[in-house]
Amino acid sequence: MSAITAACAIAILIPLGDIIYQAALLGGPTLSFSVLTAGLPQPCSVPVNGVPCAVGGIGPALQGTGILVGLAALVSVPIGLAAAIFAVEYRGRFLGTAISFTADVLTGVPSVIAGVFIYAYFVIYDPALVFSVITGTLALSVIMIPIVTRTCEEALRTVPHAVREAALALGIPKWRTTLQIVVVSALPAILTGILLSVMRAAGEAAPLLFTAFGSRLGFEGFNNPIEALPLLIYNFAESASNNWIHLAWAAALILIILILITNILSRLTIARMVRRMRGE
Amino acid sequence: MANGKMRVEHLSAYYGNRRAIEDISLEFPKNEVSAIIGPSGCGKSTLVRCLNRLHETLPRTRVEGRILLDGEDILELDPIGVRRRVGMVFQRPNPFVTMSIYDNVSVSLRFNGRHSREEIDRAVIRSLQQAALWDEVKDRVDAPAMSLSGGQQQRLCIARALAAEPEVLLMDEPCSALDPVATAKIESLVAELKSEYTLVIVTHNMQQAGRVADNTAFLYLGKLVEVGPTEELFERPKERLTEQYITGRFG
Amino acid sequence: MDPTTPSSPIRAPRHRGRGWTDLVFFGLVAFAGLFVIFLIFAIAAILITQSHLAFSTYGFGFLVGTRWNISPTEQVYGAVPFIADTLITSAIALVIGFPLALGSALFLTTQAPRWLRGPLGTVIELLAAIPSVVYGFWGLIFLGPYMRTTVEPALHRYLGWTGGFNGNETGTDVLTAGVILAIMVIPTISAISRETLAAVPVAQKEAALSLGATDWEVTRTAMLPYARSGVFGATILGLGRALGETMAVTMTIGNHDALPTSFFSQGQTISSLIANELTNSAGPLQYSAIIYAGLILLAISIAVNVVARLLLWRVLRVSRGSVE
């Protein structure tokens, strides 16, 4: 039995290893500081008239991902945390269960549908903004809000009731109790949830296909389309041009590295936070 | 004694660095009931869990010494084979929760080799009879095992262990989770079983040892204090410690 | 209900002049809570209204219509090719992914040395963190050609008689998309199965051990039956993820709007359909039909997800992380 099950584990590690290996192999050499900041080049495979292909860079995509994810977090975290607070701190009401259940359902909504939702809405009500930073942010928020809500909810639930009672018995108003005591004691898990949703959003391409849409340039205003790393990968992946393919791998490598780092960092710092809070 | 079905020689058992049993040498005569008594934490459970090599399934455990079954050191044998010859009944009844009564009893038969449906049926009936449970369940053997009462579940576990046709049956405080009526049923069962099996029963209840056991061993803080025929141990204990425990000076 | 939980929510003591901040706070969080509930209805509402044109044209016949033709002279839209491809790719994903996921979960819970369990589990879960588009890219550049040159010819040679492995071996087809999906759902199924298996009480395992069971027999008798509903729920959750996957599928499936005739056919799932045709549809009817298909996908995904969570409500803890 150990042979078969070990074989399963190895079989799973092979594609994982290969993806990271290929990304490192093909994207690594392309990466440099200038690539991270430079603009997208013209597609090109072979030198023309003796002029070598421009390497270009993924600057706009990096910038776009940063802006979209950052704004989406700004929107999603307050809403998600607030909704979780309502579900947990004012529980006993039917509404609390309803929020929990709805957030659960929302996590099952395919990310492409989130994009369709925002796209369809703006097509009707504000067509000029259909492809813009605003719609991209909203689409990512639709994905992030349920994750933040559910993880915050679970985090808040672990805080023992005695903590709240003690604070209220001291005359501390409910809003302070919740924010400064309950939320703070659940902070490690809450931060994990937020980081988790940020990582998800950073890697999503489907909802951005119809919203942020992509662009050649960097940020041009909230009303205009914007590039993002996943979009760049998608757009350049099927290209026949070598420099574009290399940039796509560079972008993929950056995404993988960012996600890995966030993953590991969050586990470490949060574990450290928990230990510190326990006074170890 | 030459008729020791099982014997331990200079047995020590460890959990990590903590020694739970120290240098115990003890004999379990064939077709007799041997009880192991002592206060909580004295190593009684650890001792019996060594007898079927269950102790080593926990992480960071270690055993020193010899454990002999019919003269062979079981520590050198295949543990799975050992466990087929030395069965166990646990403190809390633990029937397989997703299975029926019938399936619970017949589990061991499905482990090794093919048995025909008729063979399995016969074995199940026989085991349930031996465990004095057959009359109560004979018309609902396909009912879930969890539908039985606590005492019945424990007898089911006994039947399950017996169906594997062991030579020795270990019972680790089998009645501690049961009410007096169920306890009495199991105690009378023990008396019947010894004609076919060698039994080792761990109990924290001295009176129970007095009622069912032929021999009793008294353990304290991991060491064997005294062992002997039950009547002698209780009425004429040789060690002061034994006498103090029996008269209830400590528990 | 544990005794420390009051049966009614805690009300803050009312201090004069202080009560209003609590009211404002309550209002804000209540608004957020209602917003979350509103969100799902809003999504459904938009999809329903925008698919109305297609619905009034085809009704439920859309669900059995097999042709999808965008040419203006004979537009006809039916969802069957996409529903079929969605189901087929997800089925392939489960057929390949479930055994591997369960096998690795069993490896981690019962076979692997203890020091390896945590790290290896984390590594497998990292598979879940890799974005779909990166999977698609890798699938396009590496898996596809590998399927084309090695796997598909072999499948054709040995299994061609079944009729399902014939046709052009391009490596960009339903089968490749299914394989990519398998890789993507394995971490989900594996991680949750692992939790379920680890939660089997020691007493059950010891009962099997004491009867002289081998490792496999302990697993088969004491662990798998006990963990059944959790493992099943994990698989359904994985299915939910596979159904909605867009980028990895659209980059490996070939994007062909027709019913598949073999595993080597190019295809189009509902999500890849949306990705490809939503923003450049030939007219309002096609647009509406695409949204209609999206609505079907939404309904299926939600249903599957709810079933999975019902099975898993005891085991699943959202704060575990990347299994989402």
User: Torsion angle of alpha carbons A213, A215, A218, A222, nearest 10°?
Assistant: -40
Q: Is there a contact between A104 and C305 if contact means CB atoms under 8 Å apart?
A: yes
What digits encode the pLDDT tens for the residues B125-143? 999 999 999 999 989 999 9
What digits encode the pLDDT tens for the residues C88-108? 999 999 999 999 999 999 999
Nearest to B96 among C204, C209, C210 (CB): C204
Nearest to A86 among C30, C274, C302 (CB): C30
User: Torsion angle of alpha carbons B211, B215, B218, B224, nearest 10°?
Assistant: -170
Structure confidence at residue C1 (pLDDT): 45
CA distance C309 to chain B (A): 21
Count of CB pairs separated by less than 8 Å, B with C? 65
Could you report the predicted ipTM of this complex, rounded to two decimals?
0.90
Whether the Cβ atoms of residue A38 and residue A56 lie closer than 8 Å to each other: yes
Of these ranges, A185-189, C159-163, C217-221, C313-317, the one predicted with the greatest mean pLDDT is C217-221
What digits encode the pLDDT tens for the residues B47-101? 999 999 999 999 899 999 999 999 899 999 999 999 999 999 999 999 999 999 9
Amino acid present at A133: V
Q: For residue B55, give the chain C residue with the closest CA.
A: C206
Closest-CA residue to A215 (of A226, A228, A200, A229): A226
CA distance C76 to chain A (A): 22
Give the Cα separation of B220 and B235 in Å (integer): 19
Provide, as residue numbers in chain C, all residues whose Cβ is less than 8 Å from the Cβ of A204: 131-132
Reduce the secondary structure of chain C to three states and give it as a string.
CCCCCCCCCCCCCCCCCCHHHHHHHHHHHHHHHHHHHHHHHHHHHHHHHHCHHHHHHHHHHHHCCCCEECCHHHCEECCHHHHHHHHHHHHHHHHHHHHHHHHHHHHHHHHCCHHHHHHHHHHHHHHHHCCHHHHHHHHHHHHHHHHHHHHHHHHHHHHHHHCCCCCCCCCCCHHHHHHHHHHHHHHHHHHHHHHHHHCCCHHHHHHHHHCCCCHHHHHHHHHHHHHHHHHHHHHHHHHHHHHHCCHHHHCCCECCCCCCCCCCCCECCHHHHHHHHCCCCCCHHHHHHHHHHHHHHHHHHHHHHHHHHHHHCCCCCHHHCCCC
Query: Which residues, at least 6 apart from C120, have a Cβ–Cβ distance to it below 8 Å?
Result: A9, C108, C112
Q: Is there a contact between B94 and C217 if contact means CB atoms under 8 Å apart?
A: no
Closest-CA residue to B215 (of B195, B198, B233, B203): B233
pLDDT higher than 70, residue C319: no
Provide, as residue numbers in chain B, all residues whose Cβ is less than 8 Å from the Cβ of C204: 94, 96-97
Q: For residue A237, give the chain C residue with the closest CA.
A: C137
Q: Is there a contact between C211 and B92 if contact means CB atoms under 8 Å apart?
A: no
Nearest to A83 among C36, C129, C135 (CB): C36
Structure confidence at residue A92 (pLDDT): 65
Whether the Cβ atoms of residue B160 and residue B130 lie closer than 8 Å to each other: no
Q: Is there a contact between C211 and B84 if contact means CB atoms under 8 Å apart?
A: yes
pLDDT higher than 50, residue C324: no
Asked if A touches C (at least 3 Cβ pairs < 8 angstroms), the answer reads: yes
Cα separations in angstroms, A1 against A7, A237, C223, C278, C310: 10, 41, 14, 49, 31
Per-residue pLDDT of chain B (251 residues; tens, 9 = 90+): 456 789 999 999 999 999 999 999 999 999 999 999 999 888 899 999 999 999 999 989 999 999 999 989 999 999 999 999 999 999 999 999 999 999 999 998 988 777 888 999 999 999 999 999 999 998 999 999 999 999 999 999 999 999 999 999 999 999 988 999 999 999 999 999 989 999 999 998 888 999 999 999 999 999 999 999 999 998 888 888 888 888 887 76
Structure confidence at residue C248 (pLDDT): 95
Test the A interface: residue of C11, C127, C134 with most A CBs within 10 Å: C134
CA distance B104 to chain C (A): 10
Instruction: Chain A: list its partners (3+ Cβ pairs within 8 Å).
Output: C
Q: Is there a contact between A206 and C246 if contact means CB atoms under 8 Å apart?
A: yes
Query: Any chain B CB within 8 A of the CB of C113?
Result: no
What digits encode the pLDDT tens for the residues A111-121? 999 999 999 99
